Chains A and B, each alone.
Chain A
Amino acid sequence: MIYTFNEAWREYYEVLEPEKRKALLEKLSKSVPDDGANRFRKKLFEQRHTDPKKADHMIDLFLWQCVYLPGLYRKRNFFLFNARQEMQRALKDIFLDGSVRMNAAEKSALYWELRNAAARYFATCSGSRYGNKFLGMKHATMEEKRERACEDAWIMSRGMALCSGLEKEMQIFIDAVRDEYDNYEVGGADKFDAYGAAHEAQARRSNRWDRQNKIGIKK
């Protein structure tokens, strides 16, 4: 899928701090001519960063899915009904539940927003707290962190889509994570695909939703 990019919004999608992005959103919404996605961008920002329980607390719901989906993937063989509900909630949180009905401008805005969330995730992948081993006693080497980031990128997007049978619904997210991983790591797209080739069969085998049609997820 081709996602359009409005050059005027470059800074908004490159900045990772929510506060700065909020200021940019307000500024650019007024100064840049509407490309048909301005309202949707605002809606996306509010959905992503507003804490429904505490207005002054800024959250990142899209980044949360990047963190949570690998965890869900790793325990995918357990508690089928729960996992199904979790996936439905995740798709709703990142606007993917209705992505097939979106127009091109909205799809592009969602894609770039998801890329921004993925970029924020990958920015943490070189930190000292990432990928630590043996009960937090051994720090991961940079090489181990890179391997782990590749694994996370694949399982949060394509892996999760395969084992939940939601490839079509998650396509924008898969594209966003893969492309952003390619931006983060030299030859990232190739590494992403190579990891996928080695693990795709395993993820497909875990797809109990499609195998058990009786309780298949609503599409």
Chain B
Amino acid sequence: MNVKQFIKGNAIWLVFIAMVIIFEVANPNFLTPRNIIAISRQIAVYGIASVGMTFVILIAGIDLSTGSIITLVNIFCAWLMVSLGMNMWIAVILAIVLATLIGVLNGFMVSTIGIPAIIATFASQTIFEGAAYLLSGGLPISGFTKDFDLFGRTAIAGAVPICAIIMVVCLAIGSFILNKSYFGRYFYAIGGNEEAAELSGIRVARVKYLIYALSGFFAGLAGIVMLSRTGSAQNTAGLGYEFDVITCVVLGGVSVNGGVGKMSGVVAGVLIIGAMTNGMVLMNVNTYLQMVVKGVILAIAVGIDCMSKKRQAS
């Protein structure tokens, strides 16, 4: 393998290494153990939600409701625990079931009714953002039991956050589904040629239901981790998260045209976005400028995908 091929095959990881070096030079606190643990906590939400989004984008779909699912799960779980005094585990399970059902609803709108994914999930985003406000009355909810710290604040031996372990497990499950299961093959096939996949015997509608349900499930789990980490349910908790998650996935090489992508690339995408967000905070970069940078990165990632497709075709 020559140098050019190596760079081409590992570009995303080289970008990550370069970014780490730049941030470390700019701020020596970047690679301290404490900051690395902080980054691993921060990226957990992106990493978990990215698994579901990867499946959706692989079939050339999109899920814009991820952010509002995170918000609703925050509010709903906090409301169950604080206002109703429900057991933590039951509240967590109910919140994740709710998130999965929202995913099923998205699947119904996309697959059964035939609404374009971008419109259907945008409608969901608006509906459930409003629902979160209705449930909380627009006020934050806090006052959880200490046990709830388990998902976002607890670390094994003070060094390995539980939320990072949850993220790694989710990414491993995602990788297993894509590479070892029938469903993973179906995802690639539907993204490649949906009609032929249907003719070959795949129940495309059912698979789409499953994919959107999984997207909801992983967004819900990400919402629980976020709620535990912040210790307070806010109505703006998941605001804009869908775009960060889409950026992670597309940056990781999952094609916006569907049918192409792998979980290892998504891991790199999540690490880049996490390291960049943390690095910019350490460098005191203005929040609005951070948004500009993330937007530019998303545009570049999609642009590279489109250009490589054009070059391949020519």
Contacts and interface: CB of A to CB of B under 8 A. Distances in A.
Contacts of A136: 60-62, 116-118, 258
Interface stretch (B100-108, B124-132, B190-198, B209-217): B190-198
Interface stretch (B32-40, B235-243, B259-267, B290-298): B259-267
A66 B201 CA distance: 13
Interface in A113-138: 120-121, 124-125, 127, 129-137
Interface string B158-195: 00000000000000000000011000010011011111
Contact of B5 (A58, A151, A205): A205
B313 interface: yes
Interface string B247-261: 000000000111111
A61 interface: yes
B189 A64 contact: yes
Interface in B257-314: 257-262, 264, 306, 312-313
B189 A68 contact: yes
Nearest to A137: B118
A11 interface: no
Contact of A121 (B196, B202, B260): B196
Interface stretch (A36-44, A77-85, A94-102, A177-185): A77-85
Given A78-B179, A133-B256, A71 B195 contact: no
A30 interface: no
Contacts of A129: 193-195
Interface string B27-64: 00000000000000000000000000000010011100
Contacts of B180: 82
A130 B262 contact: no
Given A51-B201, A136-B60, A124 B196 contact: yes
A151 B192 CA distance: 12
B9 interface: yes
Interface string A46-74: 00000100000111110110111011101
Interface extent on B, as a size class?
35 or more
B257 A133 contact: yes
Contacts of B261: 75
A46 B84 CA distance: 59
Contacts of B61: 135-136
A124 B195 contact: yes
Contacts of A144: 313
A75 B118 contact: no
Contact of B60 (A68, A72, A135): A135
A71 B200 contact: no
A135 B118 contact: yes
A67 B60 contact: no
B199 interface: yes
Nearest to B202: A64
Describe B's contact surface by its main secondary structure.
helix
Interface residues of A, number: 40
B264 A67 contact: no
A77 B256 CA distance: 20
Nearest to B110: A136
Nearest to B62: A135
B307 to A, nearest CB: 13
A147 interface: yes
A124 B199 contact: yes
Nearest to B313: A147
A100 B57 CA distance: 40
Given A71-B191, A135-B118, A77 B199 contact: no
A118 to B, nearest CB: 11
Given A78-B262, A136-B60, A71 B257 contact: no
Contacts of B195: 124, 127, 129-130
Contacts of A57: 201
Contact of B188 (A68, A120, A135): A68
Nearest to B178: A75
A61 B61 CA distance: 25
Contact of A78 (B199, B264, B312): B264
B196 A67 contact: yes
26 contacts: A59-B200, A60-B199, A60-B200, A61-B200, A64-B189, A66-B196, A67-B193, A67-B197, A68-B188, A71-B188, A71-B259, A72-B188, A74-B188, A75-B260, A78-B262, A120-B199, A124-B196, A124-B199, A127-B195, A131-B257, A135-B57, A136-B60, A136-B258, A137-B118, A148-B313, A151-B313
CB-based closest 10 A-B pairs: A59-B201, A71-B188, A64-B200, A124-B195, A135-B62, A63-B200, A136-B60, A124-B196, A60-B200, A67-B189
